[in-house]
Amino acid sequence: MGRPRHPDPVPSPAPRLLSCCPTLFLVFVLAQAVGSPSSSIARVGEWTTYTFANEVRAIAFDRGAIWCATAGGGVRFDPTTSRFATYTNADGLSGNDVTSLAVDRNGDVWFGTRERGLSRRRGDTGGWRTYTPLDGLASERVGAVFIRGNTLWVGTQDGLSVFVWGTDVDERRDTFVFSDAYRASRGVPLANTQTIAFGETTIWAGTENGVATAQYTAANLKDPANWTTYTVAHGLPDDRVTALAVSGTEAWAGTPAGVARFDGTRWQTMNTGLLSTDIRGLAFIEGTLWAATGAEVAKLDGSTWHQVGGGVGPSGARTVAADSTGTVWIGAARNGLGRLEQGEWRFSASNGPAGNVIDALFIDRRGHVWCGLDEGGVSRFDGTEWVTYTTADGLAPGPVVMIGEDRAGIRWFGTFGHGLSRLDDNGTLAKDDDHWRTFDQRDSTFAGVPEDPAFVVVNAWAIDQSGGQWFSNFGAGALFLNTDGRWAASRPRADELSSARIRGIAVGTDSSVWFATDDRLSRFRPDRRQWQVYSTQDGLLSNQVNAVTVAEDGTVWVGTDAGVNRFEGEVQTPLALPSGLNTAAVSALATDARGRLWAGTRQGLAVLDPETLDWQVSTVDNSPLAHPLVKSITVKTTTGEVWIGTGGGVSRFESGVLPVRTTLSDVLVYPNPFIPSRGDAAVVFDRLADGAMVSILTAAGELVRQIRPEEIVAQQAHWDGRNDAGRPVAGGVYFFVITTPDGRNRTGKVAVIR
């Protein structure tokens, strides 16, 4: 798509003159100024994935660039510019949980993923291809990728797959094509291969059941008899082998319990000097063995390990390697990519949320997206950059499972176990004037769960029409904070709040407060001080209620373990989830500007049209949804963006569903002038009223192109500079008339420069 320009408002409305007085119309539009804009053209149906990509598990070098396998996709780092490019499933990668990678002689990058097979990105075109068991891959669960000469070795849950250099007849190019597989399911001792290394004549595979080795020139590697397996019985510190390094006839294995050297018969543990025996990576660099561990990077001097470079950040390092210049690089578990400079590690980190399991989502009054992270902390996205807040800033520890904002712009963060944090940012984005406070069992009405009075869970929030706020104090009940700053508690009682285990809260258009709980659905009417409880006896599909939300028209949607219930006043309708999700349990709910229901589950996402009751399903198999587990959903109704928090990152979907628009006063037309030679793809007529039609005319009043309502998507019409016959129009000034079904119109002109 070509470069768009910033949108300028169309001049003030013209009277309906075109049909009755074309000459007067022409005089009017010639008097209007031509805009010169630039902005982005909305791509309805487009997915974007945001991930934490600073857990670097493997490194490969490619003509000066560095490729990283991360928990959030494949990452390319340019050391000369210090810029990162992250590739996810939205770009063509089969899965975001990347375990391993290698670069071949074409510059193609091969990515092994934890559950989604093997992906290859072409170095010449950037095109993607995925390999699965249908292509000969032993398993979709890939743990290792290794290139040796003309062979690509792929370690999987069910053994090794082998690809050899040859001609791919479909692509008409030389690349690695499938050759063979040595499967654990057929007796070869290669189940759950995590790492691969080669000696002069041997292949070594580190598995979850020890080290397996064979002469790689053996006539039949499918024969289990040609493989030898070593375990703790042969001296390994642990059967779970996470790393291998081989130099000539010297072989080393890394495990969660330390490092061992093979003497030709047995393995000898050598852990002296290590701060951590949790070994994640091993490599020979200039003849010296290096190790990436759970606490440091170390190298072996004789029989003793010595730390190198100082600290590597929380959770240690994952991998270590050296480039062609001898520069040593490490992949850290949290700090990204590190380079050894003057004896210290210097880290570079890609921009993104600080975790991949997203427990909560919220869009604040600035339009910024906040993500509550399962491993603690909260990340804020302003559309360009991510900023993360942690305990170091004042946030309470623990998973952030709730986010809200009151009318004063104060933000609230509920945690799983450490109470509620309050952030007053003084109206700025800078952290230095932030004021934090945490409420827990020690200084507030919040209480701990019955099993542990000090474990305070605050996991749901809603704000009512007066600005009062409701909080779920899971395991204890609900708390209400009025606009005067006074707290009031609601505890479970017969025929009132049905359970202290509250999963969700929503406020209806009639001020009713709805509580989704582990034991039925409760409704509180503040004006009457009345409670009502709904169960399966009242038509609820299940008494396990996981989510509740209210649409702008007042419809209440309830997500249960057995589907969805719709409440329209006192009338409720049970609705089963679509079969394409393979589950009946709802984990999250939200509605968009037109009342459509978005339902998250452990198997994907579904959207319901409330008029037709038709479902559309998005899973990791038919869409770029970041992960099957959907934990949270929020909708930016002004733009149609649907944000989905998953177990593997954040997905953003451009739904194109916007609030009903009846006016033409905000119409934007851009770019103007329209210059195809500079990359302009289309003239965009934006913020159109529902049902509008756009007509393009010459200076003589002849119709060039008409864009009918059914062609308009997300209140945008695109004119590509062609007439109704599909031929490019000549350069010059053209006129447009935008008309609505009730006869109102908007007029203006646009210049085409060829």
Band of the pLDDT at 43, cuts 50, 70, 90? confident
In a domain, 144, yes or no: yes
Query: Per-residue pLDDT averaged across 620-636, rounded?
Result: 98
| pLDDT at residue 28, rounded to an integer | 33
pLDDT of the residue at 495:
86
Q: Are 754 and 39 in contact (CB under 8 A)?
A: no
> Where a domain ends, among 291, 314, 333?
291
36 and 166 together in one domain? no
| pLDDT above 60 for 135 | yes
The verdict on residue 63 lying in a domain is: yes
Section 67-81 average pLDDT:
97
Q: Are residues 27 and 128 in the same domain?
A: no
Nearest to 556 by CA among 539, 532, 573: 573
- Position 546 scores a pLDDT of 98
Of 253, 269, 291, which closes a domain?
A: 291
End-to-end Cα spacing for the chain: 18
| Rounded mean pLDDT, 710-732 | 95
Average pLDDT for 23-40 = 35
Our CA dihedral for 264, 265, 271, 272, rounded to 10 degrees, sits at: -80
- The reply to whether 103 and 23 lie within a common domain is no
pLDDT tens figures, 526-537: 999 999 999 999
CATH number of the domain enclosing 281: 2.130.10.10
C-alpha 626/C-alpha 636 separation (Å) is 19
pLDDT score at 464 = 97
Structural domain harbouring 745: 8-44+660-752
Sequence-distant (≥ 6) Cβ neighbours of residue 29 within 8 angstroms: 14, 735, 747, 748, 749
Residue 3 scores a pLDDT above 50: no
Residues 192 and 257 in one domain: yes
Q: Which residue type does 551 have?
A: A
Q: What is the mean pLDDT of residues 703-725?
A: 96
Contact call for residues 613 and 593 (beta carbons, < 8 A)? no
Would you say residue 545 lies in a domain? no
Structural domain contains residue 266 = yes
- Are 117 and 171 in a shared domain? yes
Same domain, 59 and 198: yes
34 and 104, same domain (yes or no): no
Q: Each residue of 462-514: pLDDT tens digit? A: 999 999 999 999 999 999 999 999 999 999 998 899 999 999 999 999 999 99
Q: What is the pLDDT of residue 494?
A: 86
Is pLDDT of 41 > 60?
Answer: no
- The per-residue pLDDT for 673 is 96
- Residue 4 has a pLDDT of 34
Domain identity same for 28 and 78: no
Has residue 312 been placed in a domain? no
Nearest in space to 628 (alpha carbons), one of 606, 653, 657: 606
Is there a domain that residue 309 lies in? no
Residues 609/617, Cβ–Cβ less than 8 Å: no
Give the tens place of pLDDT for each residue, 137-163. Answer: 999 999 999 999 999 999 999 999 999
pLDDT at residue 254, rounded to an integer: 98
Average pLDDT over residues 13-40: 35
Q: Do 106 and 201 share a domain, yes or no?
A: yes
Q: Is the pLDDT of residue 40 over 90?
A: no
Place of tokens 């770009």: 91
Q: Which residues pair with 330 in a beta bridge?
A: 320, 338
- pLDDT tens digits along 249-270: 899 999 999 999 999 999 999 9
Q: Give the end of a domain, one of 291, 325, 351.
A: 291
Q: Give the mean pLDDT of the chain.
A: 93
Q: Compute the Cα dihedral for 607, 613, 616, 619 and give only its sign.
A: positive
pLDDT value of residue 330: 98
Q: So what's the pLDDT on residue 679?
A: 93
C-alpha 131/C-alpha 138 separation (Å) is 10
- Establish if 185 belongs to a structural domain: yes
Judge if 27 and 126 occupy the same domain.
Answer: no
For residue 346, the tally of other CB atoms under 10 A from its CB is 11
pLDDT digits (tens, 9 = 90+) for 205-247: 999 999 999 998 888 999 999 999 999 999 999 999 999 999 9
Residue 10 has pLDDT above 70, yes or no: no
pLDDT bin (cut points 50, 70, 90) of residue 35 is: very low
**CATH number of the domain within which 707 lies:** 2.60.40
pLDDT(17) > 50: no
Query: Domain for residue 377, yes or no?
Result: no
Task: Let me know: does 160 contact 181? Beta carbons within 8 Å.
Answer: yes
Q: What separation in angstroms does the CA of 1 have from each of 43, 391, 681?
A: 10, 43, 6
What is the domain count for the chain? 2
Q: Are residues 98 and 141 in the same domain?
A: yes
Whole-model pTM? Answer: 0.91
Give 304-363 pLDDT, tens digit per residue: 999 999 999 999 999 999 999 999 999 999 999 999 999 999 999 999 999 999 999 999
Task: Give me the sign of the Cα torsion angle 51, 57, 61, 62.
Answer: negative
- Decide if pLDDT at 387 tops 70: yes
**Both 160 and 211 in a single domain?**
yes
**Percent share of the chain, pLDDT over 70:** 94
